[in-house]
């Protein structure tokens, strides 16, 4: 029988056994120091396990265990689970192109996992996967779904909230955005979408979407809260954010310049 512990010291095997027995998803420096009271010894074991490909570093003091059953350490954890473990107690959600793909707004497989959160703003590679933590206002943390991955809760924007972000950070052409919104109106709660838009702290998104929904036949009664939310300031924005030109027909109702 093949020795699955080959190349590991007695202490390394003991630590891995403790982690697996206690069903820990995340290995922290604090946990290792509880297992081994000698802090220097605990630090050395973490260094050696990382060199041997038995743990993946998420950030300083946070690691993931590579299961012993993984052949030649050829294993990668679930990307959304890693994002959640990285964030810890920080308010966050999986969003932007990661959520667009999850909800079927695009078939394009994202090359980066986007994590919108209230504290971290940086990019990093964990394993072989690119992650981008985007720092945002706590006012944008709402409209979330909980998904269960390996008995852990992971937060992702729900479909209506994802559509708000899709208009704020669009992919492809503006015509593509309009087409997708048109298709999704059959699948979502328009009332919930309006509620999320009213709460979204970027008025240009509310103006563009208001005009778009009106053109798609949404009634004035449903759109009324959204229209009230844009305020009375005569500040006009370009309808198509992909085009720099502000030349075009003016829609005074939504304070939008239809530039394409």
Report the chain (260 residues): mean pLDDT per 10 consecutive residues: 69 91 90 92 94 90 82 74 95 97 92 97 93 98 96 96 97 93 96 98 97 96 96 93 92 93
The answer to whether position 2 is within a domain reads no
- Whole-structure pTM over 0.75, yes or no? yes
CA-nearest of 125, 142, 121, 145 to 133 is 121
Q: 62 with 94, same domain? A: no
Q: 88 with 146, same domain? A: yes
Q: What is the pLDDT of residue 74?
A: 60
The answer to whether position 4 is within a domain reads no
Q: What is the pLDDT of residue 1?
A: 37
Contact yes or no for 246/238 (Cβ under 8 A): yes
Dihedral angle at the C-alpha atoms of 242, 246, 247, 253, nearest 10 degrees? 100
Last residue of a domain, one of 73, 93, 128: 73
Q: What is the pLDDT of residue 23?
A: 86
Contact yes or no for 241/257 (Cβ under 8 A): no
Last residue of a domain, one of 157, 185, 212: 157
Quickly tell me which residue has 């298709």 as its tokens. Answer: 183
The answer to whether position 125 is within a domain reads yes
- CA distances in angstroms from 84 to 27, 51, 118, 205, 238, listed in the order given: 14, 24, 13, 28, 36
Domain that holds residue 244: 161-260
Q: 189 with 259, same domain? A: yes
Q: What is the pLDDT of residue 69?
A: 66
Total domains, the chain = 3
- CA distances in angstroms from 242 to 19, 121, 216, 246, listed in the order given: 50, 25, 20, 11
The answer to whether position 3 is within a domain reads no
Joined tokens for residue 15: 């630590």
The answer to whether position 150 is within a domain reads yes
Q: 111 with 97, same domain? A: yes
Residue 216 exposure: Cα atoms within 13 Å on the Cβ side: 20
């Amino acid at each position: 029988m093949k020795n699955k512990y080959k190349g590991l010291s007695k202490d390394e095997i003991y630590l891995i056994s403790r982690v697996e027995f206690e069903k820990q998803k995340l290995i922290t420096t604090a946990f290792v120091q509880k297992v081994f009271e000698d802090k220097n010894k605990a630090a050395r074991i973490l260094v050696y396990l990382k060199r041997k490909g038995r743990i993946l570093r998420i950030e300083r003091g946070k690691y993931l265990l590579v299961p012993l059953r993984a052949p030649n350490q050829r294993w990668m954890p679930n990307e959304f689970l890693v994002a959640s473990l990285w964030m810890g107690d920080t308010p966050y959600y999986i969003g932007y192109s990661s959520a667009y793909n999850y909800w079927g707004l695009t078939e394009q497989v994202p090359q980066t996992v986007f994590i919108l959160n209230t504290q971290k703003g940086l990019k990093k590679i964990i394993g072989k996967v690119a992650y981008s933590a985007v720092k945002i206002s706590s006012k944008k943390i709402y409209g979330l779904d909980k998904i269960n991955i390996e008995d852990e809760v992971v937060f992702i924007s729900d479909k209506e909230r994802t559509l708000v972000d899709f208009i704020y950070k669009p992919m492809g052409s503006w015509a593509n955005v309009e087409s997708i919104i048109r298709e999704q109106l059959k699948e979502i709660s328009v009332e919930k979408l309006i509620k999320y838009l009213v709460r979204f702290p970027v008025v240009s998104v509310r103006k563009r979407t208001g005009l778009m929904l009106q053109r798609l036949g949404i009634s004035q009664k449903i759109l009324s809260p959204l229209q009230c939310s844009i305020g009375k300031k005569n500040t006009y924005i370009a309808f198509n954010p992909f085009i720099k030109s502000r030349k075009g027909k003016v829609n005074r109702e939504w304070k939008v310049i239809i530039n394409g």
